[in-house]
Amino acid sequence: MIIGFQGEAGAFSDAAARRLRPGAQTRGYLSFDLLVAAVDGGEIDAALLPVENSIAGSIPRSYDLLWEYANLHAIAETAFPVEMNLIGTLDAVEANIREIRSHPVALEQIHRFAGTHPAWKRVAVADTAGAVAEIVALGEPAIAAVGPALAAELYGAKVLRTAIQDDPRNFTRFYLLAREPQSHGTLGCVAIEVENRPGTLRDALSAFADRGLDLRSLVARPNHVDPFHYRFFFEIGDVDRARLDAALGAIAGTARIIGIFSREP
Amino acid sequence: MIIGFQGEAGAFSDAAARRLRPGAQTRGYLSFDLLVAAVDGGEIDAALLPVENSIAGSIPRSYDLLWEYANLHAIAETAFPVEMNLIGTLDAVEANIREIRSHPVALEQIHRFAGTHPAWKRVAVADTAGAVAEIVALGEPAIAAVGPALAAELYGAKVLRTAIQDDPRNFTRFYLLAREPQSHGTLGCVAIEVENRPGTLRDALSAFADRGLDLRSLVARPNHVDPFHYRFFFEIGDVDRARLDAALGAIAGTARIIGIFSREP
């Protein structure tokens, strides 16, 4: 089985894919669009697409792709901890470090730790896993990277300090997308477009709430047809297929199931 | 009156501020955070904060700031057309251009026009208005910028071609934020945090719908306390203050009015 992810080998998404499906091969893609096109085209068996980060919120492009690729289905969900590590060359020691490299967002998420080393130069690069590959290629023990532990393992570097991020509760949620839907699970994701008149969204939410379907999250995205008109994505907990079908049937508008799945470690 | 905006002089936000309050002075800030802090601290009278783009969707950081700064109030809304222009030095002619510079998002939004000039080199810079300032400073008629007409006027450049963007219906919506609330208007923005149990969001939407308050848009943001728990922002059309207060009173949770205002040109 081949699972695709966005990023370079050793990225957080790569680590999440390996944890979700141990033994699967993983393959990196340059963008979310290329990743989703690859599973749609049969080049890979599944794609691990990030849909939300617990700090930054929902990932807009992912939701647009979930809508565009109506033939693809979410078949699993996983929440992966984004743990930043200080990573050096095999002969590095923390006391001798003078420079750290990582993606700008990763550097922003380690303010507290970096503040204890004010003299360190901070260099922004395109990718956290790529930063690790870079410092290994340089072979200069004074230059370290901030990134995922998996990248240290893959590129032959050393984790000097684990969990250096400011917020210990930083998670990214992913959907595993495949060409064949799954009919059982505890969670469901549905997408709807309703007419833009008073009460339509409330009526859609009532269609779920009246049937005991618990709304876990909601994302609004432009419909990309009329400015300031939207489509909505709902994630439902304790899902029951019959009740979900009944709820979708009661919605006045376009509605479709993105997937039925369970949260997996 | 001084209105702040995010960006360099001549940016789309600057043009929107000048159109909204003719005769006001405008002042640019490096980030949304600095802009909002400036109006909160009394350095400027109002801040024009972008909340949504019709293609890209809601602007997450703006909503987080609307929540954080409980002392600030939206007092006007405006939808400004994002019109990209080909801008050259005063002696430039389109036939002799060899390079265009702009923000990467602006360069992405002119694919169709740029496709008719495949030989042009495309250079990404930090800011659309800054690109215009740059080509004027260079003084090389073969190097043009893609950006707002206001920047051409401010920096002494020439608009060679107007409205070159792919999608003619690209708008950004802004809220004008001030320290004093306004009590009348046709629109309202409210923020709520409800308990995370079945039906709470539906009940909140019902509190509005049952009172004939038309939900125009909805934004969900992480509450930045518990991972995957949210706060919601609703924009209401045809607002009536008494009915809005009644609706907020009926919501089981935290609710506050971000502002009552009208759409202005």
Dump pLDDT digits (tens) for A65-84.
999 999 999 999 999 999 99
The shortest CB-CB distance from B205 to any of A173, A202, A213 is to A202
The length of chain B, given as a count of residues: 265
Fold of A1-81+171-180: D-Maltodextrin-Binding Protein; domain 2 (3.40.190)
Which one of A55, A198, A232 has the shortest CB-CB distance to B222? A55
Interface test with B, best of A165, A228, A229, A240 (most B CBs within 10 A): A228
- What does the pLDDT profile of chain B (265 residues) look like in tens digits? 999 999 999 999 999 999 999 999 999 999 999 999 999 999 999 999 999 999 888 999 999 999 999 999 999 999 999 999 999 999 999 999 999 999 888 998 998 999 999 999 999 888 899 999 999 999 999 999 999 999 999 999 999 999 999 988 899 999 999 999 998 899 999 999 988 777 888 888 889 988 988 888 899 999 888 888 889 999 998 898 899 999 999 988 889 999 999 999 8
| Closest to A181 measured CA to CA, from A69, A71, A35 | A71
ipTM (interface pTM):
0.79
- Tell me which DSSP letter residue A95 carries: G
Average pLDDT over residues A111-138: 93
Give the CATH H-level superfamily of domain A182-265. ACT domain (3.30.70.260)
What is the pLDDT at residue A110? 93
Cα separation, B145 vs A223, in Å, equals 30
Round to whole Å and give the CA distance between A46 and A240: 24
B144 lies within 8 A of chain A by CB: no
Question: Which chain A residue lies closest to B206 (C-alpha atoms)?
Answer: A202
Q: Identify any residues that bridge with B234 across adjacent strands, giving them in sequence order.
A: B190, B218
Looking at chain B, which residue has its C-alpha nearest residue A58?
B221
CB contact under 8 A, A54 and B222: yes
Q: How many residues does chain A have?
A: 265
Residues of B in Cβ contact (< 8 Å) with A199: 209, 215
Q: Which candidate, A199, A159, A170, places its Cα nearest to that of A55?
A: A170
Q: Do B173 and A228 touch (CB under 8 A)?
A: yes
A201 touching B, CB under 8 A?
yes
Domain-wise residue ranges, chain B: 1-81+170-178, 85-161, 186-265
B1-81+170-178 against B85-161: fold identical: yes
Alpha-helical segments (H) within A124-188: 128-138, 149-155
Class of domain B85-161: alpha beta
Task: Report CB contact under 8 Å: A222, B55.
Answer: yes
Q: Do A219 and B215 touch (CB under 8 A)?
A: no
As a whole number of angstroms, the distance between CA A42 and CA A179 comes to 8
Phi-psi region of A139 (alpha: psi -120 to 50; beta: other; left: phi over 0): left
φ, ψ dihedrals at B119, nearest 5°: -80, -15
Percent of chain A with pLDDT over 70: 100
The two tokens of residue A70 are: 């109506």
Fill in the amino acid letter for A7. G
**Which residues of B, range 37-56, sit inside 8 Å of A by Cβ?**
52, 54-56
pLDDT per residue over B226-253, tens digit each? Answer: 888 889 999 998 898 899 999 999 988 8
Distances (CA, A) of A113 to A109, A169, B52: 9, 16, 34
Pair type for strands A230-237 and A187-194: antiparallel
CA-atom Rg of chain B in angstroms: 21
Q: How many CB atoms lie within 10 A of CB A224?
A: 15
Q: Is there a contact between B228 and A217 if contact means CB atoms under 8 Å apart?
A: yes
pLDDT of residue A70: 93
CATH domain B186-265 topology: Alpha-Beta Plaits (3.30.70)
Quick check: A209 and B222 CB within 8 A?
no
Q: Are the CB atoms for A173 and A52 separated by under 8 Å?
A: yes
| Best mutation target, A33, A61, A215, A232, to test chain B (most B CBs within 10 A) | A215
Kind plus residue range of the DSSP H or E element containing A77: strand A73-81
Beta-strand relationship, B99-102 and B121-124:
parallel
For the record, the structure tokens of B24 come out as: 């006001």
Could you tell me if A230 lies within 8 Å of chain B, comparing CB atoms? Answer: yes
DSSP state for residue B107 in the 8-state scheme? H
Q: Within 13 A of B217's CA, how many CA atoms are on the CB side? A: 21
Q: How far apart are alpha carbons A75 and A244 in whole angstroms?
A: 16
Looking at chain A, list the stretches that DSSP marks H as alpha helix, in order from N- to C-terminal side: 12-20, 32-40, 60-68, 104-108, 111-115, 128-138, 149-155, 200-209, 241-249
- Chain A hits for B217, CB-CB cut-off 8 Å, are 220, 228, 230
CA distance B219 to chain A (A): 6
Grouping H, G, I as helix, E, B as strand and the rest as coil, residue B88 is strand
The pLDDT assigned to B35 comes to 98
What is the token pair recorded at B187?
């629109």
Identify the architecture of domain B1-81+170-178 in CATH. Answer: 3-Layer(aba) Sandwich (3.40)
**Mean pLDDT within A185-193:** 94
The DSSP bridge partners found for residue B32 are none
Dig out the tokens for B225 from the structure. 């306390």
B202 touches chain A (CB under 8 A): yes
Question: Rounded to the nearest 5°, which phi and psi values hold at B121?
Answer: -80, 140
A257 in reach of chain B (CB within 8 A): no
pTM for this model (two decimals): 0.86
Nearest chain A residue to B202 by CA distance is A205
Q: Which residue of B lies nearest to A206 if distances are taken between CA atoms?
A: B202
